[in-house]
Amino acid sequence: MTIAAPQAAPVSAEAVTPGLTVGIPKEIFAGERRVAATPDTAKKLQKLGFTVLVETQAGAGASFTDSAYEAVGCQIMPDAASLWEAANMVLKVRSPQHHPDLGRHEATLIKPTTTLASFIWPAQNPDLLAQMAEQGGTVLAMDSVPRISRAQKLDALSSMANIGGYRAVIEAAHHFGRCFTGQITAAGKMPPAKVMVIGVGVAGLAAIGAAKSLGAIVKAFDTRLVVKEQVQSLGAEFLELHFDETEDGSGAGGYAKVMSPAFIAAEMALFAQQAKDVDIIITTALIPGKKAPLLITQEMVESMKPGSVVVDLAAEQGGNCEVTQPGEVISHNGVTIIGLTDLPSRMASQASQLYGNNLVHLLSDLGGAASFSVNMDDQVIRATTVIHNGQVTWPPPQVEAPAPAPSPQPTAAVTAAAPVVKPWYGQLLWPGILGLACVAIGLWAPASFISHLTVFVLASFLGWKVIWDVSPSLHTPLMSVTNAISGIIIIGGMLQISGDITSPMTILGAIALFLGTVNIAGGFMVSQRMLNMFHK
C-alpha cells in the first residue's frame, strides 16, 4: 500500500510575506514533469534574499512534494492565479501557453511589475513575444543566454542537452534488440553494437560518453573539426571528410554553420554509407532559429539493418530524419525511429536540479533581492532579455569586435651597450684544463684505471641517453629502466669489493652498492605512488 506524503496547507496571496518574491508555477505543458526550482535550489534562492512561492503540486512530476518545499521555508500557493498575482519574479520551464484550469493564456497573467524567466524561443514564437510585450513586464529567455565563458553557469540549453544526450542512449538501448557491449559466452558470441552520433555538441558528447560506457563501438561526425580531439578523448572514432573547404563548420556561439552544397553532398554520401553498417544513429544537429537540417533520408533508413534504431534529438524542430514523427516512436521498414521531444523531462528530478541551478545563477547576476535590476549594459543580461518593460528587445544588437590596438609609434633608437667580449684565453681556460687532465691521466694513471674510466664515461653517456629519450608519458617504464641501470651498478660494485676494506676500490664499490640500492628502493616507491593515483 502506498502512503501519500502529507501536503502543506496552501496560503492565499494576501498572506504572502512582503518583499521580493519568486514564484514557481506548475508546468501545464502536456507531459512536462520538470519544475523550475527544487527544494535544494529554493534554499539557494532564499539565501539571495527572495521569498519563494510554489504552486501546490508543482514539483510532483519530479518527485518533490509540497511538504519538501515547506520544510525548506517555501510558501505553498493554492493555484496559478494567486501565485502569479503575488510573485514579482516568475520562474518557469516551458514558455507561457493557454492555461486549461484558468481558461486564459499565461501571458495575460504577466503584470507590468512582473519579471518572467523561462524558455521562450523568440525566433519561433514572434506572436507570443508580442502578446507578452502588451502586458508591460520583463521577460528573460533562458534559450537566448549567449554561449560565452562568463555565461556558462546560466546556459540552460547545455544543461538540458547534456541530460537529453544521455537519455537518448538509454532510449536507444531500450528499443535495441541486443546488448551494447560485446560478449563471448558458452552459448555463443555477441558482437558490440555500433553507434553513430551526428553532431558533437553538448548532447552529442553526452551520447558518446554514455554509449562508450555501455561498451558500444562509437563513431561521430561534425562539421566542426575543433571537436575531433574531444571525440577521440572519449574513445570514439571521428568521421572526417577530406573536403576542400576554406574553413571548418564552426559558427557563432559554438554552433555549426550551414556548409556549401558540395560539402553537404559529400556529407550525405558518408551518412548513406555508414547507415548500412551501424546499428544505432543519434542525430543532434540544430542551427539556432532555423528548421533542423535533414541528414537521414528515408532511403538511408530503409538501407539500415532490421532492428536498428534512430534517435532524433532535433525532432521538436522538424527532425534530422525524414521519417521522424515528433513526439512519437514509430517503426519504418523494421527500423525504430524515436522522435521523443521530452527526453530531459524523462529524467525530471535531475533535469530540474540543473535547470534550477541555472536560474539561481541568473538571479544572482541580477543582483539578488538586495539590488535586483535588469542591467541592460551587461552583455549576458542584455542578450537574455527579450522584453524589457513592455518593449521587445530581441534580437540583441551584435557585439562589435574590439578594434585592433594601434601599432606603436616608432621611437628613437636606443643604442645598446656593446656586449662584453671575453679574451680568447678566458674562453679556452676550462677546455684547456680538461684536456691537460686527460693527458695527465693517460701518461701516469695505471692501465686498469683508464679501462674503468672508459667504461664509466661510456656508461654515463648511455645512461643519459636512455633516461632523457624516454617519452614523458612513460614515467613508470622509465622507473623500470633506471632500476635496471641501478642493478648493473650494484653488480659492478659487488665485483669491486674485496677483503681489504681500506682499498679505494672496495670503498668505491661499497658506495656504488649503497647508492644503487637507494635508487632501486626509491624507484619502486615512486612507481607505487604513481599507480595509486589511478585507484579510486
- CA dihedral (168, 173, 177, 183) in degrees, to 10, reads 140
Count of CB atoms situated within 10 Å of the CB of 47? 12
127 has catalytic annotation: no
If DSSP codes are grouped into helix, strand and coil, which group holds residue 188?
strand
Q: In which residue are the cell numbers 679574451 written?
A: 423
Residue pointed to by grid coordinates 541592460: 376
Confirm if 67 and 8 have CB atoms less than 8 A apart: yes
> Measured over all CA atoms, what is the biggest interatomic distance in the chain, rounded to whole angstroms?
112
Residue with cell 601599432: 407
- Phi, psi values for residue 271, rounded to 5°: -65, -40
> Count of CB atoms within 10 A of residue 350's CB?
17
Question: Quick check: 317 and 292 in contact, CB under 8 A?
Answer: yes
- Our answer to whether residue 12 is catalytic in this structure is no
d(CA 273, CA 271) in angstroms, rounded, equals 5
CA distances from 490 to 496, 517, 520 (A): 10, 7, 10
Phi and psi angles of residue 392, each rounded to the nearest 5 degrees, phi first: -70, 120
d(CA 203, CA 206): 5
Q: Identify the active-site residue in 40, 46, 131, 147.
A: 147
Identify residue 51 by its one-letter amino acid code.
T
Catalytic residue among 66, 155, 279, 312: 155
Active-site choice (12, 63, 67, 152)? 152
Q: Which three cell numbers stand for residue 59?
A: 514539483
Per the DSSP assignment, residues forming a β-bridge with 266 are none
Annotated catalytic residue: which of 255, 303, 346, 378?
255
Clarify whether 147 is annotated catalytic.
yes
Q: Is 255 a catalytic residue?
A: yes
Distances (CA, A) of 334 to 97, 175, 328: 37, 12, 16
For 453, other C-beta atoms within 10 Å of its C-beta total 14
Q: How far apart are CA 445 and CA 115, in angstroms?
A: 94
HSE-CB for 460 with a 13 A CA cutoff: 6
Q: Is residue 184 helix, strand or coil?
A: strand
Residue type, 65: T
Q: Which residues pair with 217 in a beta bridge?
A: 194
Provide the residue type at 518 as one letter. V
- Phi then psi for 307, rounded to 5 degrees? 95, -5
Strands (E), 356-468: 385-388, 391-392
Which of the residues 75, 82, 135, 158 is marked catalytic?
A: 158
- Only one residue has cell 555565461, namely 151
* 425 in active site: no
Helix and strand counts by DSSP (H, E) for the chain: 16, 19
Report the catalytic residues. 147, 152, 155, 158, 255
